[in-house]
Amino acid sequence: MSKKDLKNRKTLLYTIKKLSKLAKDFSTKKNNEKIFVCKKCGKANHLEDLKKNLFICSQCSSYFPLTGIDRFDMLLDKGYRVIDYNSKKTNPINFPNYRNKKEDEKTEAVKIARGKILGNSVLVASLINTYMLGSLGTYVGEEITKMIEEAEKKQLPIVIISLSGGARMQEGIFSLMQMAKISSALYSFGEKGGLYISLLTNPTMGGVSASFAAQGDYNIGEPGALIGFAGPRVIKETLREKIPDNFQKAENLENFGFLDMIIERKNQREIIGKILRMHRSKYGRL
C-alpha cells in the first residue's frame, strides 16, 4: 500500500469513527431537544447541558458562541432589563435581498441590557452572532452609540461584548461610518472619565476589531478567541506564506500587549464585577 493510500485510509477511518460517534450521541436525542455539535471534537452537546456549562464543550472545553440573553444571564445580576433605543433598520444602499427577512422585525445584531454586575450598575451591549454574524451596520452603530451617550449622561460604566465578522458589507460606506461614530462617542465618554470594558470573544474581526473592540480601558479576551482584521485564510492566500498556529489567537495577542488579560467564562462575572467596584468611587456610582 502506498503512502498516499495509507493516508486516505486513515482519513476515511477517522471520518467513519467520528460519524458513528455522532450517530451514537444523536440517538439519545429527545423530542424537540436542540443539539449543538462541537466543531473541534465533534461531540454533540444538548442545549440544556451547554447552558449549565456556560456554553463550553463538555468533552474538549472549547467555547461555543455565547451572546445576547444567555450572555446577560451569565454576567449580570438577576433583575436586569433588556432595552433598545428604537433605532431604524434601514437598507441605505438598497442592497438586493437585504432587509426582506421577517426576522428583521424582531431582532438585529446587538442586544443591550441595563443592570448590575455584583451590585455595580452598568450598561452592557452584546453582539449577536446568529444575525449576519454580528456584523456592524447602521442599526448596531446607532444602538451602541446611544448606549454610550446614555452612560455618559448618567455616569455609568459600560461593557461591550464583541462577537463579529466585521463591518456589514450590505450597507457599504454607511457600515464603515459606524466605526468612526462609535469611536468618537467612546472618546467623549472616556474624556469625562467613563469606564469602558471591552470583552473580545471568538471571533472579533474586521471593522469591529479595528474600532470599538480595541478601545476599552480594559481589553479582555476569551480563551482561544480569534481576533484580527483580515482572517488567517485570506492572509495566507495573499502572502503565500505559512502562518503560525497561534496566529490571531487571544493568547498570542496577550503576549504582544494587544489584550490586557484573558479570562475564562467561569471567572468573568467575578473579575469584571471587581474591576467595576474598583472604579466605583470615581465613576459609575449610583
In the complex with Zn ion, which residue's Cβ is closer, 45 or 67?
Answer: 45
SS (H, E, C) 185-231: HHHHHHHCCCCEEEEEEEEECHHHHCCHHHCCCEEEECCCCEECCCC
Q: Which of 11, 15, 20, 59 binds Zn ion (CB under 5 A)?
A: 59
Cell 433605543 sits on residue: 85
In the complex with Zn ion, which residue's Cβ is closer, 57 or 113?
Answer: 57
Residue 131 DSSP SS3: coil
In the numeric block, which cell numbers belong to residue 195? 469606564
Helices marked H in the chain — which ranges? 3-27, 47-52, 68-75, 103-106, 138-154, 172-191, 206-209, 232-239, 250-255, 265-278
- Pick the stretch among 57-65, 124-132, 157-165, 203-211 that binds Zn ion (CB under 5 A): 57-65
Provide the 10 A C-beta neighbour count for residue 146: 17
One symbol per residue from 4 to 43: x for binding Zn ion (CB under 5 A), - otherwise; what is it?
A: ----------------------------------x-xx-x
Nearest-angstrom CA–CA distance, 147 and 122? 11
Q: How far is CA 222 from the centre of its chain?
A: 9
Q: Min. distance of Cβ 129 from Zn ion in angstroms?
A: 18
In the complex with Zn ion, which residue's Cβ is closer, 36 or 229?
Answer: 36
Q: Min. distance of Cβ 103 from Zn ion in angstroms?
A: 28
Measured between its terminal Cα atoms, the distance across the chain in Å is 74
In the numeric block, which cell numbers belong to residue 214? 480595541
Q: Which of 60, 93, 180, 261 binds Zn ion (CB under 5 A)?
A: 60
- Pick the stretch among 54-62, 178-186, 205-213, 244-252 that binds Zn ion (CB under 5 A): 54-62
In the complex with Zn ion, which residue's Cβ is closer, 62 or 107?
Answer: 62
- Pick the stretch among 62-70, 178-186, 237-245, 267-275 that binds Zn ion (CB under 5 A): 62-70
Size of the site for Zn ion (CB under 5 A): 8
Q: Min. distance of Cβ 281 from Zn ion in angstroms?
A: 43
Binding site for Zn ion (CB under 5 A): 38, 40-41, 43, 57, 59-60, 62
